[in-house]
Amino acid sequence: MSEPNEDLAVQPSMLARAEEIQQEIQQLSGRDLQLWSIGILVILVLTGGVLALLVPNLLWAQRIVRVDHAYLPQLFFGLICLIVLFNIYLMGQKLTLNATRRALIRELVLNERLESLSLIDPLTQLLNRRAMNEIIPREVARANRLGASLSFVTMDINGFHAINAKYGSMEGDEILIDFSRILKMVFRGGDVIFRQGGDEFLIVMPDTTEEQADPPVQRLLRAVEQWNISKKKGYELSFTWGLAPYIHGSSVADVLRAVDRRMYQRKHNLVPVF
Protein backbone atom coordinates (compact mmCIF):
# COMPACT_ATOMS: atom_id res chain seq x y z
CA MET A 1 0.00 0.00 0.00
CA SER A 2 1.41 3.38 -0.93
CA GLU A 3 1.76 6.36 1.36
CA PRO A 4 -1.24 8.71 1.51
CA ASN A 5 -0.80 11.63 -0.83
CA GLU A 6 -1.95 14.91 0.64
CA ASP A 7 -2.23 16.37 -2.87
CA LEU A 8 -5.13 14.03 -3.51
CA ALA A 9 -7.32 15.82 -0.99
CA VAL A 10 -10.80 16.66 -2.24
CA GLN A 11 -10.62 19.64 -4.53
CA PRO A 12 -12.89 22.40 -3.25
CA SER A 13 -14.12 23.60 -6.66
CA MET A 14 -17.27 21.45 -6.85
CA LEU A 15 -18.17 22.00 -3.21
CA ALA A 16 -17.60 25.74 -3.50
CA ARG A 17 -19.70 25.95 -6.64
CA ALA A 18 -22.52 24.01 -4.95
CA GLU A 19 -22.53 26.51 -2.09
CA GLU A 20 -22.58 29.39 -4.59
CA ILE A 21 -25.57 27.87 -6.39
CA GLN A 22 -27.48 27.44 -3.14
CA GLN A 23 -26.79 31.08 -2.26
CA GLU A 24 -27.97 32.21 -5.69
CA ILE A 25 -31.20 30.21 -5.30
CA GLN A 26 -31.78 31.90 -1.94
CA GLN A 27 -31.20 35.27 -3.59
CA LEU A 28 -33.82 34.40 -6.20
CA SER A 29 -36.31 33.77 -3.40
CA GLY A 30 -35.53 37.27 -2.17
CA ARG A 31 -36.24 38.64 -5.66
CA ASP A 32 -39.63 36.90 -5.59
CA LEU A 33 -40.41 38.85 -2.45
CA GLN A 34 -39.27 42.05 -4.17
CA LEU A 35 -41.66 41.42 -7.07
CA TRP A 36 -44.54 40.95 -4.65
CA SER A 37 -43.55 44.16 -2.88
CA ILE A 38 -43.45 46.05 -6.19
CA GLY A 39 -46.86 44.66 -7.09
CA ILE A 40 -48.38 45.81 -3.83
CA LEU A 41 -46.73 49.22 -4.22
CA VAL A 42 -48.08 49.64 -7.76
CA ILE A 43 -51.58 48.68 -6.60
CA LEU A 44 -51.38 51.28 -3.84
CA VAL A 45 -50.12 53.94 -6.27
CA LEU A 46 -52.90 53.18 -8.75
CA THR A 47 -55.50 53.22 -5.99
CA GLY A 48 -54.16 56.54 -4.75
CA GLY A 49 -54.19 57.99 -8.27
CA VAL A 50 -57.76 56.92 -8.87
CA LEU A 51 -58.88 58.36 -5.58
CA ALA A 52 -57.01 61.61 -6.26
CA LEU A 53 -58.92 62.01 -9.52
CA LEU A 54 -62.31 60.88 -8.29
CA VAL A 55 -62.58 62.39 -4.84
CA PRO A 56 -62.57 66.06 -5.95
CA ASN A 57 -65.26 65.29 -8.47
CA LEU A 58 -67.57 63.42 -6.14
CA LEU A 59 -70.73 65.29 -5.33
CA TRP A 60 -72.78 63.92 -2.57
CA ALA A 61 -76.26 65.02 -3.33
CA GLN A 62 -79.13 62.95 -2.19
CA ARG A 63 -76.68 60.15 -1.66
CA ILE A 64 -75.98 59.95 -5.38
CA VAL A 65 -72.36 59.82 -6.52
CA ARG A 66 -71.70 61.83 -9.68
CA VAL A 67 -68.37 61.96 -11.50
CA ASP A 68 -67.21 64.57 -13.95
CA HIS A 69 -67.25 62.57 -17.20
CA ALA A 70 -64.53 64.73 -18.77
CA TYR A 71 -61.89 62.89 -16.79
CA LEU A 72 -63.09 59.35 -17.37
CA PRO A 73 -61.44 58.58 -20.77
CA GLN A 74 -58.01 59.80 -19.63
CA LEU A 75 -58.41 58.06 -16.30
CA PHE A 76 -59.29 54.65 -17.69
CA PHE A 77 -56.77 54.88 -20.53
CA GLY A 78 -53.96 55.69 -18.09
CA LEU A 79 -55.12 53.00 -15.69
CA ILE A 80 -55.25 50.36 -18.40
CA CYS A 81 -51.80 51.37 -19.71
CA LEU A 82 -50.29 51.14 -16.22
CA ILE A 83 -51.88 47.77 -15.59
CA VAL A 84 -50.72 46.38 -18.95
CA LEU A 85 -47.18 47.70 -18.54
CA PHE A 86 -46.96 46.41 -14.99
CA ASN A 87 -48.20 42.96 -16.01
CA ILE A 88 -45.70 42.83 -18.88
CA TYR A 89 -42.90 43.78 -16.51
CA LEU A 90 -44.08 41.34 -13.83
CA MET A 91 -44.44 38.45 -16.28
CA GLY A 92 -41.04 39.15 -17.79
CA GLN A 93 -39.36 39.22 -14.40
CA LYS A 94 -41.18 36.10 -13.29
CA LEU A 95 -40.18 34.19 -16.44
CA THR A 96 -36.59 35.31 -16.02
CA LEU A 97 -36.53 34.24 -12.37
CA ASN A 98 -38.07 30.85 -13.15
CA ALA A 99 -35.63 30.23 -16.00
CA THR A 100 -32.69 31.22 -13.82
CA ARG A 101 -33.93 29.06 -10.96
CA ARG A 102 -34.37 26.02 -13.24
CA ALA A 103 -30.88 26.51 -14.69
CA LEU A 104 -29.35 26.77 -11.21
CA ILE A 105 -31.20 23.67 -9.99
CA ARG A 106 -30.06 21.70 -13.05
CA GLU A 107 -26.48 22.81 -12.45
CA LEU A 108 -26.73 21.91 -8.75
CA VAL A 109 -28.06 18.44 -9.56
CA LEU A 110 -25.34 17.91 -12.17
CA ASN A 111 -22.71 19.18 -9.76
CA GLU A 112 -23.87 16.74 -7.07
CA ARG A 113 -23.87 13.87 -9.56
CA LEU A 114 -20.36 14.70 -10.72
CA GLU A 115 -19.22 15.01 -7.12
CA SER A 116 -20.72 11.61 -6.33
CA LEU A 117 -19.19 10.01 -9.43
CA SER A 118 -15.80 11.53 -8.67
CA LEU A 119 -15.74 9.63 -5.36
CA ILE A 120 -16.61 6.23 -6.87
CA ASP A 121 -14.21 3.89 -8.59
CA PRO A 122 -15.94 3.08 -11.91
CA LEU A 123 -14.68 -0.50 -12.11
CA THR A 124 -15.41 -1.84 -8.62
CA GLN A 125 -18.06 0.70 -7.54
CA LEU A 126 -16.15 1.16 -4.29
CA LEU A 127 -15.11 4.50 -2.89
CA ASN A 128 -11.86 5.70 -4.42
CA ARG A 129 -8.70 7.42 -3.14
CA ARG A 130 -10.27 10.84 -3.34
CA ALA A 131 -13.15 9.71 -1.13
CA MET A 132 -10.63 8.18 1.26
CA ASN A 133 -8.97 11.56 1.78
CA GLU A 134 -12.35 13.11 2.52
CA ILE A 135 -13.96 10.45 4.72
CA ILE A 136 -11.08 9.13 6.85
CA PRO A 137 -10.29 12.50 8.51
CA ARG A 138 -13.97 12.75 9.50
CA GLU A 139 -13.91 9.25 11.04
CA VAL A 140 -10.69 10.03 12.88
CA ALA A 141 -12.12 13.30 14.21
CA ARG A 142 -15.24 11.45 15.35
CA ALA A 143 -13.17 8.79 17.12
CA ASN A 144 -11.14 11.48 18.90
CA ARG A 145 -14.25 13.45 19.86
CA LEU A 146 -16.21 10.48 21.22
CA GLY A 147 -13.31 8.33 22.37
CA ALA A 148 -14.66 5.58 20.12
CA SER A 149 -12.74 2.62 18.72
CA LEU A 150 -11.62 2.72 15.10
CA SER A 151 -9.77 0.03 13.16
CA PHE A 152 -8.15 -0.06 9.74
CA VAL A 153 -7.65 -3.09 7.52
CA THR A 154 -5.57 -2.86 4.38
CA MET A 155 -5.08 -5.63 1.84
CA ASP A 156 -3.80 -6.35 -1.61
CA ILE A 157 -4.22 -9.30 -3.94
CA ASN A 158 -1.26 -11.65 -4.09
CA GLY A 159 0.38 -12.04 -7.49
CA PHE A 160 -2.15 -9.76 -9.15
CA HIS A 161 0.30 -8.25 -11.62
CA ALA A 162 1.49 -11.71 -12.70
CA ILE A 163 -2.11 -12.86 -13.20
CA ASN A 164 -2.88 -9.68 -15.12
CA ALA A 165 0.16 -10.18 -17.35
CA LYS A 166 -0.55 -13.86 -18.00
CA TYR A 167 -4.33 -13.83 -18.45
CA GLY A 168 -4.92 -10.28 -19.66
CA SER A 169 -6.43 -7.09 -18.28
CA MET A 170 -10.01 -8.32 -18.66
CA GLU A 171 -9.29 -11.21 -16.33
CA GLY A 172 -7.61 -8.80 -13.95
CA ASP A 173 -10.69 -6.56 -14.00
CA GLU A 174 -12.89 -9.57 -13.26
CA ILE A 175 -10.75 -10.41 -10.23
CA LEU A 176 -11.04 -6.86 -8.91
CA ILE A 177 -14.80 -6.79 -9.44
CA ASP A 178 -15.35 -10.17 -7.76
CA PHE A 179 -13.03 -9.36 -4.88
CA SER A 180 -14.83 -6.04 -4.33
CA ARG A 181 -18.17 -7.84 -4.35
CA ILE A 182 -16.88 -10.26 -1.70
CA LEU A 183 -15.66 -7.34 0.42
CA LYS A 184 -19.10 -5.70 0.33
CA MET A 185 -20.71 -9.01 1.23
CA VAL A 186 -18.41 -9.76 4.19
CA PHE A 187 -18.05 -6.38 5.90
CA ARG A 188 -20.82 -4.51 7.70
CA GLY A 189 -22.83 -1.71 6.19
CA GLY A 190 -21.21 0.71 8.64
CA ASP A 191 -17.71 -0.22 7.47
CA VAL A 192 -16.28 1.94 4.70
CA ILE A 193 -14.50 0.14 1.85
CA PHE A 194 -12.07 1.91 -0.47
CA ARG A 195 -10.15 0.90 -3.53
CA GLN A 196 -6.92 2.83 -3.20
CA GLY A 197 -5.73 1.92 -6.65
CA GLY A 198 -4.58 -1.16 -8.52
CA ASP A 199 -5.15 -4.19 -6.30
CA GLU A 200 -4.95 -2.25 -3.02
CA PHE A 201 -7.98 -1.95 -0.73
CA LEU A 202 -8.64 -0.30 2.61
CA ILE A 203 -11.50 -0.90 5.06
CA VAL A 204 -12.26 1.58 7.81
CA MET A 205 -14.24 0.05 10.66
CA PRO A 206 -15.83 2.56 13.07
CA ASP A 207 -16.67 1.49 16.63
CA THR A 208 -14.51 -1.60 16.17
CA THR A 209 -11.54 -2.72 18.25
CA GLU A 210 -8.59 -4.66 16.87
CA GLU A 211 -10.00 -7.91 18.28
CA GLN A 212 -13.44 -7.24 16.78
CA ALA A 213 -11.93 -6.51 13.37
CA ASP A 214 -10.29 -9.94 13.03
CA PRO A 215 -13.46 -12.08 12.54
CA PRO A 216 -14.53 -10.25 9.35
CA VAL A 217 -11.06 -10.84 7.93
CA GLN A 218 -11.40 -14.56 8.71
CA ARG A 219 -14.79 -14.60 6.98
CA LEU A 220 -13.18 -12.92 4.00
CA LEU A 221 -10.52 -15.63 3.85
CA ARG A 222 -13.23 -18.31 3.80
CA ALA A 223 -15.22 -16.44 1.14
CA VAL A 224 -12.14 -16.17 -1.10
CA GLU A 225 -11.46 -19.87 -0.61
CA GLN A 226 -15.03 -20.61 -1.68
CA TRP A 227 -14.55 -18.37 -4.72
CA ASN A 228 -11.51 -20.42 -5.76
CA ILE A 229 -13.52 -23.65 -5.44
CA SER A 230 -16.45 -22.36 -7.46
CA LYS A 231 -14.51 -20.52 -10.19
CA LYS A 232 -11.85 -23.21 -10.79
CA LYS A 233 -9.42 -20.81 -12.43
CA GLY A 234 -5.92 -21.63 -13.56
CA TYR A 235 -4.67 -19.60 -10.61
CA GLU A 236 -5.60 -19.19 -6.96
CA LEU A 237 -6.96 -15.94 -5.61
CA SER A 238 -5.45 -14.88 -2.29
CA PHE A 239 -4.64 -11.67 -0.48
CA THR A 240 -2.40 -10.28 2.23
CA TRP A 241 -3.77 -7.98 4.88
CA GLY A 242 -2.69 -5.73 7.70
CA LEU A 243 -4.82 -4.71 10.66
CA ALA A 244 -4.18 -1.79 12.99
CA PRO A 245 -6.28 0.15 15.49
CA TYR A 246 -6.39 3.91 15.57
CA ILE A 247 -4.57 5.42 18.55
CA HIS A 248 -6.42 8.49 19.79
CA GLY A 249 -4.55 11.69 19.13
CA SER A 250 -2.45 10.33 16.26
CA SER A 251 -2.75 11.59 12.71
CA VAL A 252 -4.36 9.93 9.72
CA ALA A 253 -0.95 9.45 8.13
CA ASP A 254 0.32 7.69 11.27
CA VAL A 255 -2.43 5.08 11.32
CA LEU A 256 -2.15 4.46 7.57
CA ARG A 257 1.58 3.94 7.92
CA ALA A 258 0.98 1.57 10.82
CA VAL A 259 -1.50 -0.59 8.94
CA ASP A 260 0.72 -0.52 5.85
CA ARG A 261 3.68 -1.66 7.94
CA ARG A 262 1.70 -4.55 9.43
CA MET A 263 0.69 -5.75 5.98
CA TYR A 264 4.29 -5.57 4.80
CA GLN A 265 5.43 -7.55 7.82
CA ARG A 266 2.81 -10.22 7.21
CA LYS A 267 3.64 -10.46 3.52
CA HIS A 268 7.36 -10.95 4.14
CA ASN A 269 7.06 -12.90 7.41
CA LEU A 270 9.34 -10.46 9.15
CA VAL A 271 7.95 -10.22 12.66
CA PRO A 272 4.61 -10.98 14.30
CA VAL A 273 2.13 -8.37 13.18
CA PHE A 274 -0.06 -8.35 16.30
Please provide the CATH number assigned to the domain covering 129-268.
Answer: 3.30.70.270
| Mean pLDDT, the chain, whole residue set | 78
What was the pLDDT predicted at 274? 45
pLDDT of residue 1: 43
> Span 7-36, mean pLDDT?
60
Residue 162 to residues 14, 156, 198, 199, 227, Cα–Cα distance (Å):
39, 13, 13, 12, 19
Going by pLDDT thresholds of 50, 70 and 90, the confidence category of residue 129 is confident
Rounded Cα–Cα distance for residues 151 and 173 (Å): 28
Distance of CA 205 to the CA centre of its chain: 21
Q: How many residues does the chain have?
A: 274
Burial class (CB in 10 A: 0-12, 13-18, 19+), 256: buried
Neighbouring CB atoms inside 10 A of 94's CB total 13
Strand order of the β-sheet with 200-206 is 192-197, 200-206, 150-157, 239-245
24 or 152, which is more confident: 152
The distance of Cα 128 from the centroid of its chain, to the nearest Å, equals 14
- Residue 120: beta bridge partners? 127
| pLDDT reported for residue 11 | 44
The pLDDT value recorded for residue 52 is 61
**Where are the domains positioned within the chain?**
6-118, 129-268
User: Does the structure show a pLDDT above 50 at 265?
Assistant: yes
6 pLDDT tier (thresholds 50, 70, 90): very low
Q: Give CA–CA dist 154/159, Å, rounded.
A: 16
Q: What is the pLDDT of residue 71?
A: 54
φ, ψ (nearest 5 deg) of residue 40 = -65, -40
